[in-house]
Structure 1
Amino acid sequence: MPLTDVNVRNAKPRDKLFRLFDERGMYLEISTTGGKWWRLKYRFGGKEKRLSLGVYPDVGLKEARDRRDEARKLLANGIDPSIERKVQKAATIERAANSFEAVAREWFARQAPGWAASHSDKIMGRLEKDVFPWLGGRPIAEIKAPEVLAVLRRVEARGALDTAHRVHQNCGQVFRYAVATGRAERDISSDLRGALPPARHTHFASVTEPAEVASLLRALDGFQGTFVVQCALRLAPLLFVRPGELRTAEWAQFDLDKAQWRYTVSKTKTEHLVPLATQAVAMLRDLYALTGHRQYVFPGRDVKKPMSGAAINAALRRMGFDTKTEITGHGFRAMARTILHEQLRFPSEVIEHQLAHKVPDALGTAYNRTRFIDDRIVMMQRWADYLDELKSRDSVVSDQAGKN
């Protein structure tokens, strides 16, 4: 007699495992603890075999019979359902391992050691927020260009066009890695070139006119905040390093007797050498009396940590500067680059090396921390003297104007 739902539901455990048989080789196996498993008994290749069809009540009688019938169709076509199940399970595991998210995280793990932490955080943040929720679980080889475009459109719709372009770029990097590792045929994101409106790139606000620079320098000298922030503000134009590198500077990196600062560039992971003008050395020696026993040159409120990343721009705003249109902490680099070349006539390659930019030379060298070092020592001192001259000259002009 075929089983009924009532038979299955009311079956009670016994002292030994027992079975209730249905039709066409299917039966319900009841353990001594009350567990109930659907099984199919069949023969393949002359051997008797069994196939699990699920656990009751998760799999009811009707669904168990449907699974039985699917297995018997495979048998009719000469396929062992047990082997087929293993093949499908392996394929599922492979699909999961080759999902967009799995490939993206593998690509990220290989690339991230060469990136600055802030850069890594931004890339993974974009993927986790804007891509994985929609494409993360999809096998990367099956993703089509319109699916990626839909992801980009969502980012664009919230007004983040520049981020949409960066998401597009990151997706392309993941797809190309999938191609290189044999998990995709091609980078389908390349089909989306031109699909997004061009992003409007803005440069960091900066001051490059000498008279305006003089006013800015005098404002920095008159800053009424803490001595640590005051020193950071006054050193920023002298050193023109990236703001993050300035605020995280450590005393162990400095040799004030040799007038040198050596550190690893956050963006390129290369060692960089900053020659220190006499004015910079004097400021640092003054600051050393206050923070020299600490790790960081510019400690924050928690002295075990560096100054906040927002401290420089916040100080500039307190002095009345618009950090979006006038000057920002990063703008001191543009100031130095422009004036050193246009006003002081230093060669571009010397300036670019001091900015720690990658400048390929005839020998193919991307960056050499000691290249043009003699020229850079002269340049850094001339730059510091020029800034002092600007302040002094502008002050004299202002005094004369006041008398007239």
Structure 2
Amino acid sequence: MNFTDRAIRALKSQDQRYEVLEDGRTGLRLRVSTAGRKSWLFTYRKGGKLNRITLGVYPEMSLAQAREEVSQRRSLLNRGLDPAHIERTHKEEERQAPTMAQLAELYLERYAKAKKRSWREDERLLKKDVLPRWGHRKAKDIVRRDVVMLLDDIIDRGSPIVANRTLACVRKMFNYALERSLIEMNPCSAVKMPGKERKRDRVLNEEEIRTFWHGLKEARILLPIRLALQLQLVTAQRKGELIRAEWSHFDFASGWWTIPAERTKNHLAHRVPLSPLALESIEGLRGFHPLFLFPSRNGEKPLLDTSIDHAVRKNLDVLGITPFTPHDLRRTAASHMTGMGISRLVVSKILNHAENGVTAVYDRHSYDPEKRQALEAWGKKLEAIIRGKESNPASLAAVR
């Protein structure tokens, strides 16, 4: 039959389904069902076997489109390939391709939980904005436009920094999928951070430190969280490393806290000297838990980072100073120490910042004496600030 739209429209249903072949041995056929439904087929022989591939439904797929589909499959045959096998393989790959919900679970379990202490934040971001929108879709079907629209919606609700964090999380997840050949490209490629990041430089002055310290006594904050905030200011250590501390990490006889390498950001063990003020705060934690200094409510694990943040946000009015974050306490301690004349190198050692370059490779000095002298001097100054008296720290000649 010479296929034309007019001839195809003229085909009527019969008591049984039938097929009409296009003239010229093209392999294109039209099947007409008993209900009058018309479907395009491509038939060909390979290895002595007749193969049939359904192409689409007429008129949704036009005659020209059907012929183009046949041409593409003929091209595969001319290259020695089997179109039916390729389509079966494609359908199986499509069936096995992970949805976004499955990819998120794989990313969190196999990557984030093993390599990121902040994996709970990734989980929160994914559950809040990503999975409700994309969870049912195949990961390979997400394109750059989807990412941009997601970020635009977060921006529109007034959360530009959350948009930045979401993009960072999703980009990392898609990179993970790319490395495992679950997708062919990362849709976050070339997508820029939508929110303008403002570098935090909040440092509490002496009056704010005093108000904060005394305000903790009035705030509706659990004692372990209150002491964690005090210790972050006293020791200048990272919040996450502090709240995961275990009693076995402390040598109270010599006055040292050793943070194991697997708990630190730079994966290097870190020794923190304990000033009298730090020891006083730690003493208030005895009896809460045999393993953790800062146990969660159920006692099965340490406090979450977010518990500290939430407590501060809820009690800002009671604490009596302008908004700050727990991390600002670490910055405050570091800034006041350098203001006391303590060298930036020693402060960097106290903060356990990662170092690069040749000097870092060859400098194996522990800086333990300098760190102890610096933190004890900071502890004395902090005590004076809390009492509202002029501070007179010990000589800092050795740590300058």
TM-score, L = length of structure 1: 0.64
Per the alignment, residue 211 of structure 1 pairs with: 207
Per the alignment, residue 37 of structure 2 pairs with: none
Contact 1:232-1:312 within 8 A present in 2 as well: no
Residue 327 of structure 2 corresponds to residue 330 of structure 1: yes
Partner secondary structure for residue 318 of structure 2: coil
**Cα distance in 2 for residues equivalent to 1:104 and 1:227:** 36
Q: Deviations over 1:148-198 (max 9, x none)?
A: 43333233222222233344445555676788788989877554448x4x5
Contact 2:233-2:333 within 8 A present in 1 as well: yes
Partner secondary structure for residue 358 of structure 2: coil
Contact 1:360-1:366 within 8 A present in 2 as well: no
Per the alignment, residue 47 of structure 1 pairs with: 48
Partner secondary structure for residue 199 of structure 1: coil
Contact 1:263-1:271 within 8 A present in 2 as well: yes
Partner secondary structure for residue 258 of structure 1: coil
Per the alignment, residue 3 of structure 2 pairs with: none
Question: How far does residue 114 in structure 1 lie from its aligned partner after superposition?
Answer: 2.0
Partner secondary structure for residue 91 of structure 1: helix
Per the alignment, residue 379 of structure 1 pairs with: 374
Q: Deviations over 1:63-101 (max 9, x none)?
A: 9xx9xx98x968995949993121123234556778895
Residue 161 of structure 2 corresponds to residue 162 of structure 1: yes
Question: How far does residue 119 in structure 1 lie from its aligned partner after superposition?
Answer: 4.6
**Cα distance in 1 for residues equivalent to 2:51 and 2:190:** 49
Per the alignment, residue 391 of structure 1 pairs with: 386
Structure 1 residues 333-344: aligned runs within 5 Å = 333-342=330-339, 344=340
Residue 196 of structure 2 corresponds to residue 199 of structure 1: yes
Q: Deviations over 1:352-389 (max 9, x none)?
A: 23223323243455999x84222112212111111112
- Choose from 229, 235, 259 the match for 2:231: 235
Question: How far does residue 238 in structure 1 lie from its aligned partner after superposition?
Answer: 1.4
**Cα distance in 2 for residues equivalent to 1:275 and 1:121:** 35
**Cα distance in 1 for residues equivalent to 2:171 and 2:220:** 49
Structure 1 residues 187-336: aligned runs within 5 Å = 189=188, 191-193=190-192, 196=194, 198-201=195-198, 203=200, 206-207=203-204, 209-220=205-216, 227-264=223-260, 265=263, 267-288=265-286, 290-291=287-288, 294-307=290-303, 309-310=306-307, 314=311, 317=315, 320-321=318-319, 325-336=322-333
Question: How far does residue 226 in structure 1 lie from its aligned partner after superposition?
Answer: 5.7
Question: How far does residue 138 in structure 1 lie from its aligned partner after superposition?
Answer: 4.1
Q: Using the aligned pairs only, state the percent identity.
A: 16
**Cα distance in 1 for residues equivalent to 2:47 and 2:241:** 74
Contact 2:255-2:274 within 8 A present in 1 as well: yes
Aligned residues: 353
Question: How far does residue 341 in structure 1 lie from its aligned partner after superposition?
Answer: 0.6
Contact 1:277-1:381 within 8 A present in 2 as well: yes
Question: How far does residue 335 in structure 1 lie from its aligned partner after superposition?
Answer: 1.2
Counterparts in 2 of 1:74 and 1:388: CA distance versus 1, 3 Å: closer
Structure 1 residues 4-19: aligned runs within 5 Å = none
Per the alignment, residue 128 of structure 1 pairs with: 130
**Cα distance in 2 for residues equivalent to 1:126 and 1:356:** 33
TM-score, L = length of structure 2: 0.64
Contact 1:219-1:319 within 8 A present in 2 as well: no
**Cα distance in 2 for residues equivalent to 1:270 and 1:112:** 19
Partner secondary structure for residue 330 of structure 1: helix
Residue 352 of structure 2 corresponds to residue 356 of structure 1: yes
Structure 1 residues 135-154: aligned runs within 5 Å = 136-139=138-141, 143=143, 145-154=144-153
Q: Deviations over 1:324-369 (max 9, x none)?
A: x344333211210110011x2112232223223323243455999x
Counterparts in 2 of 1:295 and 1:182: CA distance versus 1, 3 Å: closer
AA matched with 2:369? D
Counterparts in 2 of 1:191 and 1:228: CA distance versus 1, 3 Å: closer
Contact 2:219-2:315 within 8 A present in 1 as well: no
Partner secondary structure for residue 326 of structure 2: coil
Contact 1:204-1:330 within 8 A present in 2 as well: no
Structure 1 residues 165-184: aligned runs within 5 Å = 165-170=164-169, 173=172
Counterparts in 2 of 1:42 and 1:254: CA distance versus 1, 3 Å: same
Counterparts in 2 of 1:330 and 1:82: CA distance versus 1, 3 Å: closer
**Cα distance in 1 for residues equivalent to 2:256 and 2:14:** 85
- Stretch of structure 1 that moved more, 312-321 or 244-253: 312-321
* Uncovered stretches (5+) of structure 1, i.e. residues with no partner: 9-20, 27-39, 397-404
Cα RMSD over matched residues? 5.3
Q: Deviations over 1:35-82 (max 9, x none)?
A: xxxxx998835724465879xxxx99x99xx9xx98x96899594999
**Cα distance in 2 for residues equivalent to 1:382 and 1:159:** 43
